[in-house]
Amino acid sequence: MSKPPVTKNDHVHVTFEDLTHDGAGVAKIDGYPVFVKQALPGETGQVKIIHTKKNFGFGKLMELEQASPERVEPPCPVYHRCGGCQLQHLSYEGQLDAKKKQVADAFERIGGLENVTIHDTLGMKDPWRYRNKSQIPVGQGDEQLVTGFFAERSNTIVDTEECLIQHPDADRIMQVVKTKAAELGIRAYDSERHRGTLRHVVIRHSKTTDQVMVVLVTKQDQLPNKKHLVDAIREAVPNTVSIMQNVNPKRTNVIFGDKTTTVWGQDTIYDEIDGIRFAISARSFYQVNPVQTYVLYKQALAYAGLTGSETVIDAYCGIGTISLFLAAQAKHVYGVEVVPEAVDDAKKNAKLNDITNASFYVGEAESVIPWWKAQGMQADVIVVDPPRKGCDEALLHAMLQMQPEKIVYVSCNPATLARDLKHLTDGGYRLHEAQPVDMFPQTTHVECVSQIVLKND
């Protein structure tokens, strides 16, 4: 296509055909795709073109003429401005269907995988108030602090009274921090001028113990009137058992700095998944949806198909959450993780649960697994749960060299999952089936557990 059929500020009548992976409606004008926020497949309406590129454009929905039967009224008052959720306008059943389709499309388009068994997405009975962790930026308003989430593709904080996908304790803490910090003269961090004090407030809640941890992320060690702020948090949310301070002096959009100290109370909170207890510190990686974490791990365990005689490798073990789940049905689990603090936490969590058949090591899985193989280890099952970028190519190669009977791949990004599955299927494995799990209702994100088996022909 040499020139787009539309230009900026054109008004066009369109029919939406699909959803993108980030939740925008897709309409085609003479074959030219236009992406429009908060539009749904099957809908028709008037769109204003706001930006064009060679192969696609962006539009704004000006008038909805024919609504989808799956369209619902978003309950959040700031939904249309906040970038935290993308699918509140789509019924929950519609969200689950869209997430299954997102996985299937990635498998076919990126992985070249057709006729694969992909089960319906496993959803929640109540897809609200599920988040056990909130990372909330703090900004300086005209007269007081503002707290909330960033508008989509923006550094502007949408001031928010309550967030319908996080625990209510997080809302209460944010309101008291916002008002009390302003009273005490604690100024928000200004990223443009690199000055001010309070950058973020991170809140963690345990579903099983109801314990709350608050982490105040500041630019410098000094936090004026710290005791008064701590007292206000404790009074507002009495089940707070830990208040930490993390210092991040750098010009960066990374939330945490290197230094974390306990201001008041414990330095960990405790949670349980299916009877396994976990100590969670300020910077521990721990799944944010406790209800669906159990669903996800149960599926991973089912795909591993353990009988008690297997040697299992958990290649991105974090604080040992999946490893300890697997250990209940394996001969021995070997966890490897590049973050030393996470490995320390994993060892403590094994001890906390009297689990003796799980060992944890610091290192890059792509280096450690070949070394283990050279020492004579043979894994029956390898479990991977990588970050959004997927598995390192060297790790995929190491797994192909180890040749376990099964690989269980837990993914938070269908695109990188599909890419890695292509590598594994080209290397002698077969994708048996995949199970999407809705860990993040009201957003476009989807987790997926895949069972990959060694071809024996």
Residues with catalytic function: 412
Task: Round to the nearest angstrom and report the end-to-end CA distance of the chain.
Answer: 46
Alpha helices in 42-167 (DSSP H): 92-109
Strand ranges for 31-124 from DSSP E: 32-36, 44-52, 57-66, 117-118
Alpha carbon distance 296, 286 (integer Å) = 13
CB 293, CB 208: distance < 8 Å: no
CA–CA distance from 12 to each of 8, 61, 68, 282 (Å)? 11, 10, 19, 50
For residue 48, count other CB atoms closer than 10 A to its CB.
15
For residue 170, count other CB atoms closer than 10 A to its CB.
25
Query: Phi then psi for 235, rounded to 5 degrees?
Result: -70, -40
CB 360, CB 391: distance < 8 Å: no
Nearest Cα neighbor of 159 from 56, 142, 285, 238 is 142
Give 187's DSSP letter: P
Residue type, 43: E
Q: What is the 3-state secondary structure (H, E, C) of 132-169?
A: CEEEEEEEECCCCEEEEEEECCCCCEEECCCCCCECHH
Q: How many residues does the chain have?
A: 457
